[in-house]
Amino acid sequence: MNRSHPAPSSAANAARRARRLAQLDQRYVWHPFTQMRDWLRREPIVIVGGRGATLYDARGREYLDANASIWTNLHGHREPRVDAAVRRQLGKIAHSSALGLANEPAALLAARLVAAANGSAGRRPGAAPPLAKVFYSDDGATAIEVALKLAYDYARRAHGATKPRFLSLAGAYHGDTVGAVSLGHIDLFHQRYAGLLFKSDTVMAPYCYRCRFNRARPERADARDYRRCRWECLDQVEGRLAAQQRRGEAYAALVLEPLIQGAAGMIPQPGGWLRRVTELARGNGAAVIADEVMTGFGRTTPAQPTGGERRVRGDLFACQREGVRPDFLALAKGLTGGYLPMAATLTTQAVFDQFLGEYGEFKTFFHGHSYTANQLGAAAGLASLERLQAPGAQARRQRLAGELEQALRDLWALPHVGDIRQVGLIAGIELVRNWTTRTPFALTEQVGARVCAALARRGVLTRPIGNVVVLMPPYCTTASQVRRMVGALGEAIAEVLSRA
Ligand SMILES: *Cc1c(COP(=O)(O)O)cnc(C)c1O
């Protein structure tokens, strides 16, 4: 782990400073999703710098940022062009209000986001209308909150709905504000707040590895590839949508993460599922809210197909991989390349038009945040989009996805690896007690957390979701860094689970 070797006196200074910062943190900072009693038991890693895929701590140690700083970072840390764009913007102004004022980078970014989000999807006849408007906010949760409120009011205004309801997927996670939590179905996080939430309905997600309809025995391969089923998951979605419509009021929206559910445990959808459920939603009167907070901005770029028989499209969003166009598109994490908190909810002209009227009709969308359309964030977002769409950038992501795929193959040799799920530059490795039976570890064993701690000791940082270890490298990650991430993960699994 000690890959840099500062001189002894400076090392002692660094250690003192690291301890001081860690003490301040432990005295004053309450960390998200963290059992603080455990946190206070050991000195935390204090990050003081980064470059590319590498993070540096206050003691001078180096780590690979294997989950892209909780899925936000795209190009690596201190990407020179994003750095420069933020500095240039600082030379003008950091922030001005979007209440009553427009600004340069936010206007430019909105135009580019709309163009990128429409991309090559849905040009075919009968395609859903394009996305046309951008509502800015600050985080993934607020982007979802905005989509939720817009869809709710749209259902009432356009369709005369009296009690708009929402359908979302089992295990869904859409953020931690009360509206976003209401759409979520992770009992561990959400049940505590049941009294605060509105009711939303849930339908099974296609989790091939643990699907009750999958009759295949486990193999050493992605369960999507060897599953044996009759797409019962689609029947379930259709059943829910149709039943709601028969009750007289269609769902206001079906809410989903396209191609892969993230915090649910990195659960990927078999090819065709997304396109089909979108058709089912529309056919049953429901709008589609696509939460691309994790999947957006090139994360799902597939590896170049072997033989190159099929050209991979250059689209940046997961929906576009199946030619799907949502009515609402929520973006956040990667929007600024991982630099600043900023989010956007894109929607159609038809939704926008429902909010037009004379002032006194009070059809205004009464929602906003103080930092909405933040100029620094928008400048970072523009520079990040430019990097994503630069010549060669797509090919580079495809190469990295291929390198990740290649490296992950070695992990099948480990008996406690049950499933390896990859969608582009997102991977989840599900650890099980016994791969032949898929028997899970109890959550209280904290297997994922222990493996990640062993991984950190090897200079690789990521966080688990229960028993699923996540790898989500920044796009600048080199082939040898990918091999180091995955190699260290193999060692960590072997170390922690050798006696399990
Ligand atoms: C992270 C995440 C959110 C919430 O975003 P925040 O910026 O953390 O509020 C919502 N949806 C998905 C799919 C996410 O991964």
Angle at 296 between CA 291 and CA 299, to 5 degrees: 130
Angle at 489 between CA 484 and CA 494, to 5 degrees: 130
Question: Are 375 and 361 found together in one domain?
Answer: yes
Calculate what percentage of the chain has a pLDDT beyond 90: 90
pLDDT in tens, 177-209: 999 999 999 888 778 898 999 999 999 999 999
pLDDT band at 6 (very low <50, low <70, confident <90, very high): low
**Domain at 426, CATH number:** 3.90.1150.10
Give the residue, out of 67, 173, 369, with the most ligand 1 atoms within 8 A of its beta carbon, to mutate for a pocket test.
Answer: 173
Question: Are 106 and 37 found together in one domain?
Answer: no
**Mean pLDDT along residues 312-324:** 90
Question: Are 356 and 434 found together in one domain?
Answer: no
Q: Which of 360, 390, 420 is the last residue of a domain?
A: 390
Question: Are 372 and 410 found together in one domain?
Answer: no
Residue 175 Cα: closest atom of ligand 1: 4
pLDDT in tens, 424-469: 999 999 999 999 999 999 999 999 999 999 999 999 999 999 999 9
Q: Which of 358, 375, 390 is the last residue of a domain?
A: 390
Q: What is the pLDDT of residue 215?
A: 96
Tokens linked to 381:
């977002």
For all residues of the chain together, what is the average pLDDT? Answer: 95
Largest CA distance in the chain: 75
Residue ranges lining ligand 1, Cβ < 6 Å? 139-141, 144, 173-175, 257, 262-263, 291, 293-294, 332-333
**Domain at 146, CATH number:** 3.40.640.10
Give domain status of residue 406, yes or no: yes
Question: Are 354 and 443 found together in one domain?
Answer: no
Give domain status of residue 3, yes or no: no
Residues 6+ apart with CB under 8 A from 15: 59
Give the residue, out of 139, 181, 470, with the most ligand 1 atoms within 8 A of its beta carbon, to mutate for a pocket test.
Answer: 139
The number of helices, as runs of H, and strands, as runs of E, in the chain is 17, 18
Ligand 1, atom 5: nearest CA belongs to which residue? Answer: 140
Q: Which of 364, 390, 416 is the last residue of a domain?
A: 390
Give domain status of residue 470, yes or no: yes
Question: Are 32 and 99 found together in one domain?
Answer: no
Is the pLDDT at 378 greater than 70? The verdict is yes
pLDDT band at 1 (very low <50, low <70, confident <90, very high): very low
Q: Where are the beta strands (DSSP E) in 83-194?
A: 131-137, 166-169
**Mean pLDDT along residues 461-490:** 98
**Mean pLDDT along residues 309-328:** 87
Exposed / middle / buried, residue 8 (Cβ in 10 Å: 0-12, 13-18, 19+): exposed
Give domain status of residue 357, yes or no: yes
Question: Are 251 and 379 found together in one domain?
Answer: yes
Is the pLDDT at 121 greater than 90? The verdict is no
> Rounded distance, CA 234 to CA 254, Å?
13
Q: What is the pLDDT of residue 187?
A: 84
Give domain status of residue 84, yes or no: no
Q: What is the pLDDT of residue 314?
A: 77
pLDDT band at 500 (very low <50, low <70, confident <90, very high): confident
Question: Are 239 and 336 found together in one domain?
Answer: yes
Question: Are 57 and 117 found together in one domain?
Answer: no
pLDDT in tens, 142-168: 999 999 999 999 999 999 999 999 999
pLDDT in tens, 344-374: 999 999 999 999 999 999 999 999 999 999 9
The total of structural domains in the chain comes to: 2
> Rounded distance, CA 69 to CA 55, Å?
10
For β-strands 328-331 and 287-291, DSSP reports them as parallel
Give domain status of residue 203, yes or no: yes
Residue type, 476: C
What is the CA 37 to chain-centroid distance, rounded? 28
Question: Are 273 and 343 found together in one domain?
Answer: yes
pLDDT band at 482 (very low <50, low <70, confident <90, very high): very high
- Domain limits for position 296: 89-390
Question: Are 212 and 240 found together in one domain?
Answer: yes
Question: Are 210 and 304 found together in one domain?
Answer: yes
pLDDT in tens, 201-247: 999 999 999 999 999 999 999 999 999 999 999 999 999 999 999 99
**Mean pLDDT along residues 77-104:** 98
pLDDT in tens, 264-273: 999 999 999 9
DSSP 151: H
Give domain status of residue 2, yes or no: no
Strand order in the sheet with 47-51: 47-51, 54-57, 62-65, 460-461
Ligand 1, atom 8: nearest CA belongs to which residue? Answer: 140
Give domain status of residue 152, yes or no: yes
